[in-house]
Amino acid sequence: MEFLHENIIYFMLIILAALIFVFSFARKLKMRLLSKFASLALLKKFSPNISFKRYTHKALLLTLSLFFLFMALARPQFGTKLQKMSRKGLNLFVILDVSKSMLANDMVPNRLEKAKHEIEEFIDILKGDKIGIIIFAGTSFLQCPLTIDYAAAKMYMDIVGPDSIPVPGTDIGKAIQLATRSYPEVERKYKVMILLTDGEDHEGEALQAAEEAEKEGVVIFTIGIGTTSGDLIPLKNEGVIMGYKKDKKGNPVLSRLDEMTLEKIAQKTGGKYYRATEGEIELNKIYDDILKMERKKIYGRQFTQKEDRFQYFLLPAVLFLIWEIFLRERKNEG
């Protein structure tokens, strides 16, 4: 069992402790005052209607009533119920480049972290759209299937790193193909991909994959992560830069943003290209474009949710209170 408002429990304990102290003190004070007139044994003999037990019972009933009332106010929850989410939105796949070139520092703190930050900020503004995450380097991987559970999507994004794909290289085409196959619906609408990469496509199949995606009704938006002047690719060991990537001739590899490829991918599918800049969240601009698109009714997975059970505590609280009201301290009044 869980309580939605746990603080009320602590407040209840303080109140009940104080109440028990007051009742106990008042009972002792009452007995002390009565004993000044006569002994308690004599009072019981000549005033048989006086009942100290009933005073104690009334105090106990009031205490129990308050206990269950506070428990009800704390919103106890246990058990589950099934709910089905439905809302209007699109099916969005975010495709993230995690290749080694994304470690270049021409974006702060580096290209990959800049892209991850953009995606997490983007997830926060989604309303009703399903989102999935695909990561790629030399091959591709479905990191998170389409879902309306945005917290889960952010959790999957948090664990993404440069070692998430063991195969080196950058194959944008395979990533687009995987995303195209990962849409569950057969309809030719409501499908959007958002590609975040530095644009270096080692396999050269990105444009062909974009054409195939366009035939399936997919619109691709692209975001270029990096600068056209480029930067070196650091080689790290436990976060420490040990050197920089070199080609076969021993020369440092300079990784540059390939805007031309990304522009062509977006144009082929009716999308747009954006270049990432410091401090800007380009995905927010893309979402403004997405909001103009036709949306469908999307059904989310069924999930369980804790159900309120405050009534189980409210009923005994009322019953104990009624009992306390009708229980008189004097026997002849009961």
**Torsion sign over Cα 314, 320, 322, 325:** negative
- 18 and 130 part of one domain: no
Burial of 197 (0-12, 13-18, 19+ CB in 10 A): buried
pLDDT score, position 333: 47
Residue 145 falls within a domain, yes or no? yes
- 29 and 119 part of one domain: no
Residue 153 falls within a domain, yes or no? yes
Instruction: Report residue 168: phi and psi, to 5°.
Output: -70, 165
Residue 80 falls within a domain, yes or no? no
Number of domains in the chain: 2
The whole-number average pLDDT for the span 214-230 is 94
109 phi-psi bin (left φ>0, alpha ψ -120 to 50, beta other): alpha
pTM of the model: 0.64
Helix, strand, coil % in the chain, rounded to nearest 5: 45, 25, 30
CATH number at residue 93: 3.40.50.410
- 144 and 282 part of one domain: yes
56-74, pLDDT tens digit by residue?
Answer: 778 888 888 888 888 888 8
The whole-number average pLDDT for the span 17-40 is 75
- 11 and 50 part of one domain: yes
- 176 and 117 part of one domain: yes
Report d(CA 298, CA 49) in Å as an integer.
Answer: 72
- 58 and 171 part of one domain: no
Residues 6+ apart with CB under 8 A from 323: 61
- 327 and 279 part of one domain: no
Task: Check residues 141 and 2 and name the one with the higher pLDDT.
Answer: 141
CB atoms under 10 Å from CB of 36, counted, come to 6
Residue 60 falls within a domain, yes or no? yes
Report d(CA 271, CA 274) in Å as an integer.
Answer: 10
- 139 and 259 part of one domain: yes
165 phi-psi bin (left φ>0, alpha ψ -120 to 50, beta other): beta
The whole-number average pLDDT for the span 63-86 is 76
Residue 175 falls within a domain, yes or no? yes
- 238 and 326 part of one domain: no
- DSSP readout, 201-260? -SSS-HHHHHHHHHHTTEEEEEEE-S-SS-EE-EEEETTEEEEE-B-TTSPBPEE---HH
- 71 and 90 part of one domain: no
- 94 and 240 part of one domain: yes
- 191 and 252 part of one domain: yes
The whole-number average pLDDT for the span 99-124 is 93
Residue 202 falls within a domain, yes or no? yes
Least confident of 67-81, 152-166, 187-201: 67-81
Residue 81 falls within a domain, yes or no? no
Least confident of 22-31, 220-229, 251-260: 22-31
| Domain range enclosing 185 | 86-301
Token pair for residue 58? 């009334």
Report d(CA 319, CA 179) in Å as an integer.
Answer: 60
